[in-house]
Every structure is written in C-alpha cells, then in structure tokens.
Structure 1
C-alpha cells in the first residue's frame, strides 16, 4: 500500500470516528466502527484513543504508522447519522464500497431534523401524556401540552441563534414553568402541580446519561465522566430556571 493511500484511508476513518462522537455514539461503538472500517479498506490495524473533546487515531500498514488528531465538537444527538455511518461500514466490509465511494458517502452526510411544525406539537402531546399517566385531569393535560409546546418553541428559537446549551435549558425551563403555573394562579385544575412537573420532562438529558453510564461500564472512564458532568450541568441549568420561575410566581417552597 502506498503512503498516499494510507493517508487517505486514515483521513476517512478518523472522519467517521469524529462524526460518530460528535453526534452522540458511545465510545465502544466508535472504536469498533473505526477498526472495522479501517481493516475493510486495507489497513492492518487501527488504534484509537478517545478523550472528552478529542480523539487520536493511529493506522498501521507494513510497519508504517500514521497518527492523526481531531477535535470533537458536539452537534447534538442524531441517530440517523450514526446509523448511516454504520451502514457505510457494513457495505465496505462486504466489498460494495471502496475508498472513493466511502469518501463520497461520508462527505454527503448532512444532519436532518424534524420540521418545527411537527416537532413542537408532538413534544407537547408527549408531555401531556406523561401528565395523564401521573393522574392529571383533562385541564391539567391541556395546560401541560400548551406549556411544553411553548417551551419547545423557545428552545428551538434559542438553538437557532447558537446560544450556549446551558443558557438554552435554563431559559426554556423558566418559560415552560411560568406557563405551567396557570393551573395555580387561575385555579383551572384540581392537580396544578402535575403540569409543572410533566411539562419540563422534555429537558431531561436521558440519552447523554445513558451514554455516560455505558462508557464508564465499558472502561471509557474519562469520556463517561465528561458526559455525565455535561448531563448534570444541563440538569442543574433546568433546575435553576424552574426555581426562578416558581419564586417569581410565589410558589417556591
């Protein structure tokens, strides 16, 4: 294998690993896909070291090593991209894709998101369903749907302007809780506490916490602790927003 070919393969493998980490894949999966893709493209072995915000990858062919480092910038959870990268790896292992095809497919990958007009009402309905499961009456469910929908609209608007995620969670929790307080102030429901609890469930960072635990269990302690710390900060930001809203509404206990 020529040096230029090894360079090209290494660049593609590390790009795939970078995308996997940026869009929320667990560390064990990143290692597995990187090694399998590299070997399918002709590398003898691939060694990868992952930290909280960077990765180092080394490829080996005929005793010749190439090491490259990439910085990781999180782009949010997107399982569509992770599944597409896994699909590219599988098709490469089967011999359907070569290096050029892998390069084309990876360069075409773009994150897709649900349209706002669908996402906002569905988030409202999901939080309203939680309120119903918690025992809320009809009016409590309606208040929850409205509060969660307003909160999700605010969250998307803030995200569009690329504000810090911690600020996003705090402001979203604050506004959502303010709207959910209608059940108290207007005495519209017999279960006024439930809308306040159910409407902010959209802010629970469940996926990052699951990934954090998975990474720590599988031996990637540094990445797991980093993800756990980030999820904890998001939770604290939400609590700050909720607390301020409750205090302003005279409901702070």
Structure 2
C-alpha cells in the first residue's frame, strides 16, 4: 500500500531547502525553482512561494501556508551545490521525505567553510594578485598581501565581536587604510592608491552584486533591489573606512 504523502512534511523539506540556499548566497529564482521541483516530486500538488532575502512564504494547495525567516546570510556555495544535489535525488525518487529532511538538516548544521587561516591566506594572496592586475609593481606585492590579510582578519574578528551589520566592513577597511598608509610613510611602498584598492577587493560583495542583477533580470524586483541596497551599503562602508584614513592623513 502506497504511503500517504504528508503535505506538512513536504512543506518543511521545501522550506528547509530554501532557507539553506538563501543563507548560503543563492539567487532568489534558483531558490524558488528548487522548492517548486521538490514539492512537485514529493506531492504532485501545485505549490507557490514568495522568497525575499529575509524570509520565505511557501504554500501547497490544500495544505495551508508556512513562513520561515532568514536571520543571517553569508556565502557558502558548497551548501548550495549540495542542496541542488539533494533536490535532484528527490526528483529522481532516490530520497523519501524523511530521508531528504534528515539530509538537509545535516547540511544546515555542517560547517563546510575553509579554516580561518586558509581564508586569511587566500585573501592575502588575492590582494597581491589584484595589485599586479591593477598594474602595480612587484615590489608592492608583499605589502599588499600583508594589508589585505590584516584587513580580512579584522573583518572576521569584528563579525564575531559585533553582529551590527556593516560595522565590521568599516573597521576592516579602516585597518587596510592605516596599514597601507604606514607602508607609504616608512617608504616601503609608493603606490598608496593601488595597494588600498587591491587590499579591499576581498571585502567587496561581488556575489551579492551579481545575484542582485540576476534577480532583477529574472523579474524578482523586490529581492533584486534589496540585495542591491545591501551591496551598496557594504561598498559604502568599505569606502567610508578608507576615506576616514585619507581624511585624517
């Protein structure tokens, strides 16, 4: 005898998948498409969703409506890839509702990010590479790596210290400006502008800007404008931190 589908369980799976994807930096249209495909595969009933960067409203005809909040957002494309993989397994019938929910719960609680030292080293190296890309001299490569690494370290530390949004970005760019200016004062480097620009590149919300444009092109105007505003405020915070140093010195 075929087991009766529990629509509440299907909605929980869809909402959990959407929550993980939104928290990990996925585009709005991708989240809605994934939730719809999961609902179709598990329940074969029409579903409706309304996704914003801060919350998801989801309903299945005849089963009511549920809402889930998105308290925080970051960038973890590995989790987005795993959720997409789980979605494909659900669509192919390889996972039941219970198995899918358990797999998604494991993804939600998993820490798939690289260790902090690796992230800092990558930010430092990329800062030096951006310096060369912006036609800086090789003699400024190491100072740019140091400034970028210290700035990214400050970003991570201040994010953990204070949850106030954009506060960490301002202080991180302030550190980059101070370190870069100290390098110029001591005569180690001579291209202050290129070192600062290269060092703040790891802080720039590139994925957020890309997702905002893609959401606008896909017709998700609310999400696109919201993400665009967040990206603008982040960029403004980065510029404000650097501007404070330049104004003082």
TM-score normalised by L of structure 1: 0.91
**Structure 2 SS opposite 1:73:** coil
Structure 1 residue 135: Cα displacement: 2.2
Partner of 1:79: 77
Partner of 2:55: 54
Partner of 1:211: 211
Partner of 1:230: 230
Q: Are the aligned partners of 1:140 and 1:192 in contact in 2 as well (CA < 8 Å)?
A: no
Provide Cα deviations, 1:23-72, integer angstroms capped at 9, x if missing partner.
21111111110011111112312110123422211112xxx232111112
Provide Cα deviations, 1:59-87, integer angstroms capped at 9, x if missing partner.
12xxx232111112223011111111111
Partner of 2:37: 36
Partner of 1:69: 67
Provide Cα deviations, 1:75-124, integer angstroms capped at 9, x if missing partner.
30111111111111101111111111101101111242111221112211
**Structure 1 SS opposite 2:71:** coil
**2-structure distance, mates of 1:148, 1:47:** 44
Structure 1 residue 200: Cα displacement: 1.0
Kindly indicate whether residue 142 of structure 2 is the aligned counterpart of residue 142 of structure 1.
yes
**1-structure distance, mates of 2:93, 2:6:** 17
Identify unmatched segments of 5+ residues in structure 1.
none
Superposed counterparts of 1:86-165, under 5 Å:
86-109=84-107, 110-165=110-165
Partner of 2:172: 172
Q: Are the aligned partners of 1:137 and 1:190 in contact in 2 as well (CA < 8 Å)?
A: no
Identify unmatched segments of 5+ residues in structure 2.
none
- Displaced runs of 4+ in structure 1, greater than 4 A? 1-4
Count of aligned residue pairs for this structure pair = 246
TM-score normalised by L of structure 2: 0.93
**1-structure distance, mates of 2:129, 2:17:** 38
CA RMSD of aligned residues (A): 1.7
Structure 1 residues 135-144 or 76-85, which shifts more? 135-144
Structure 1 residue 245: Cα displacement: 1.3
Partner of 1:23: 24
**1-structure distance, mates of 2:16, 2:23:** 10
Q: Are the aligned partners of 2:136 and 2:191 in contact in 1 as well (CA < 8 Å)?
A: yes
Q: Are the aligned partners of 1:120 and 1:152 in contact in 2 as well (CA < 8 Å)?
A: yes
Could you say if the C-alpha distance between residues 4 and 37 of structure 1 is closer, same or farther in structure 2, counting changes exceeding 3 Å?
closer
Provide Cα deviations, 1:173-223, integer angstroms capped at 9, x if missing partner.
000111011342122234333212211111111110110111111110011
Q: Are the aligned partners of 1:52 and 1:222 in contact in 2 as well (CA < 8 Å)?
A: no
Structure 1 residues 39-48 or 144-153, which shifts more? 39-48
**Structure 2 SS opposite 1:57:** strand
Could you say if the C-alpha distance between residues 3 and 49 of structure 1 is closer, same or farther in structure 2, counting changes exceeding 3 Å?
farther
